[in-house]
């Protein structure tokens, strides 16, 4: 092999080995909600989709506001390392969340007792919007979003969520607003100083369900899809 060819080959190898964990080739996209079917979902703690509290309307997956017992929905499948995309729209003053690597724990339990959350919120009219760490796009209660552009209630906001090992990224309307290492001493210290310290399984799952939270308010989701990131 010539010196030029050898140099080129070494350069290619170096480039490949220097790729970050998030640069691994992803698998094909899987649709989780196509505007019609809820087959990919069921209620948390339930065997079936909770039609008493969620419905499909005009191509949107929506909560039924005003019900007595709100129920989060979770994917039937569990996911380890993945990229999730969706859009959400909320009413004025509304609150919801996208929770990931959820373990289905014995009752009474909630999805957020095990899974970290990307906050879905009307920052202007909900009290959680006063604290950056609980505002829209945040790693709820732990890391505030930076540089975000948030569309108002009644308009769609686009999410990209990347979870790879202990590394997570929250993207909102095309901007990366949170990047965190859930295994880092900094995040562990934040958890220990938060309400999550009461839940020993919080942020400990290596694999789990994706959940859409019903916090009592009307929220709509659409164009929900996921793809696996290579190990």
What is the three-state SS of 33-64?
ECCCCCCCEEECCCCCCCCCCEEEECCEEEEC
Task: Measure the CA–CA gap between 80 and 70, rounded to whole angstroms.
Answer: 27
Report d(CA 26, CA 133) in Å as an integer.
30
Q: Residue 143's closest CA among 173, 97, 179, 95?
A: 179
Q: Where are the domains of the chain?
A: 25-228
pLDDT in tens, the chain (231 residues): 454 444 444 444 444 444 444 455 789 999 999 999 999 999 999 999 999 999 999 999 999 998 989 999 999 999 999 999 999 999 999 999 999 999 999 989 999 999 999 999 999 999 999 999 999 999 999 999 999 999 999 999 999 999 999 999 999 999 999 999 999 999 999 999 999 999 999 999 999 999 999 999 999 999 999 999 986
pLDDT at 212: 99
This prediction's pTM: 0.89
CATH, range 25-228: 2.60.120.560
């Amino acid at each position: 092999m010539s010196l030029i060819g050898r140099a080129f080959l070494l350069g290619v190898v170096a480039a490949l080995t220097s790729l970050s964990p998030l640069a691994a080739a992803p698998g094909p996209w899987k649709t989780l909600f196509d505007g019609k079917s809820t087959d990919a979902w069921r209620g948390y703690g339930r065997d079936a989709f909770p039609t008493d509290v969620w419905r499909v309307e005009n191509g949107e997956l929506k909560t039924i506001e005003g019900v007595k017992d709100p129920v989060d929905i979770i994917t039937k499948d569990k996911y380890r390392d993945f990229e999730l995309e969706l859009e959400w729209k909320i009413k004025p003053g509304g609150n919801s969340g996208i929770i990931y690597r959820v373990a289905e724990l014995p009752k009474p339990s909630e999805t957020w007792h095990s899974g970290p959350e990307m906050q879905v919120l009307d920052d202007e009219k909900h009290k959680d919007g006063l604290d950056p760490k609980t505002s829209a796009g945040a790693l709820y209660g732990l890391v505030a979003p930076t540089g975000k552009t948030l569309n108002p209630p009644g308009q769609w906001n686009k999410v990209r969520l990347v979870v790879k090992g202990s590394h997570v990224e929250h993207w909102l309307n095309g901007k990366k607003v949170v990047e965190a290492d859930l295994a880092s001493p900094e995040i562990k210290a934040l958890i220990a100083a938060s309400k999550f310290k009461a839940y020993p399984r919080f942020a400990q799952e290596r694999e789990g369900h994706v959940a859409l939270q019903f916090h009592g308010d009307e929220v709509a989701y659409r164009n929900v899809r996921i793809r696996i990131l290579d190990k």
